[in-house]
Amino acid sequence: MNIIFLGIFAVVVVIYLVSLFFKQGVFQAVVKACLMPLVLAVYVSGANSIFFPVVLALVFGWIGDIFLVKIEDIRFFRRGLTSFLLGHICYIPSMLHFAGKLNIPILGISLLVAAALGVLMIKIIRPSREMNISTIVYETVIILMAASALQLFMARGAPFGALVFAGSLCFLVSDSMLAFFTFRGKPKDGFFLVMLTYIAAQFCIVLGLSGL
């Protein structure tokens, strides 16, 4: 893996997270737009074999980042949500591809747990009526992505499978916080927590997949 890209990514992440505590609109947006291209560079430079759906997932993540610069606008929020949804959909076949054969008992248990978790998350988030269906679809896909990551972890173990599964859990936390803060009110420094877990999610998943 190219240590130069890792170093640049680390510096940009620190700059961006620090910028969240200040009113730096344009600068903050530009730095944010650099995050996923750098994660992609880390993946391309370090992957044993480049899997195209992973590249697509990062491209959709980058597009989602751009749209969510104007998160207060419902039109941009929907477009960002759609972009991230497509990114999660791209991650699912990527994880299952590297997992190989499905672990059926684990799959059954994880889907049952996922269904209960999905219902609980919807009740906690309580999206607006116009976003209700979109939120349910999104939560279903991201939970399926986490279940796919669990399949990979069971098949490949640590460290790479564990990194991918940890990344999927970070995504669950990040997206759930984003939805909660969007529909229920954002606390002070809430967006910092969303972005911290989001960046960790993308990086852990890509780092894990690049080693398989």
Give the per-residue pLDDT at 27: 84
Give the per-residue pLDDT at 68: 83
Q: Which one has a higher pLDDT value, 62 or 192?
A: 62
Q: Cα separation of 186 and 138, whole Å? A: 20
Q: What residue type is 52 in one-letter code?
A: F
| Terminal-residue alpha carbon distance, the chain | 13
Q: Is the pLDDT assigned to residue 24 strictly greater than 70?
A: no
- Is the full-model pTM beyond 0.85? yes
DSSP type of residue 68: G
Q: Cα separation of 33 and 26, whole Å? A: 11
Q: Cα separation of 31 and 17, whole Å? A: 10
Spatial neighbors of 186 by CB under 8 A, at least 6 apart, are none
Which of these, 197, 161, 188, 210, lies nearest to 6 by C-alpha position?
210
Q: Environment class of residue 136 by beta-carbon count within 10 Å: exposed (0-12), middle (13-18) or buried (19+)?
A: middle
Which of these, 3, 14, 20, 8, lies nearest to 194 by C-alpha position?
20
Cβ atoms 150, 165 nearer than 8 A: yes
Q: Is the pLDDT assigned to residue 115 strictly greater than 90?
A: no
Distances from the Cα of 83 to the Cαs of 30, 70, 86, 123, 150, in angstroms?
A: 19, 14, 5, 24, 23
For the packed helices 74-99 and 160-184, what is the interaxial angle rounded to 10 degrees? 160
Q: Mean pLDDT across the stretch 130-151? A: 84
Q: Cα separation of 47 and 5, whole Å? A: 13
Give the per-residue pLDDT at 212: 66
Tokens of residue 40, six digits: 């992609």
Q: Environment class of residue 172 by beta-carbon count within 10 Å: exposed (0-12), middle (13-18) or buried (19+)?
A: buried
Q: Cα separation of 29 and 195, whole Å? A: 13
**Percentage of the residues of the chain whose pLDDT score is greater than 70:** 91
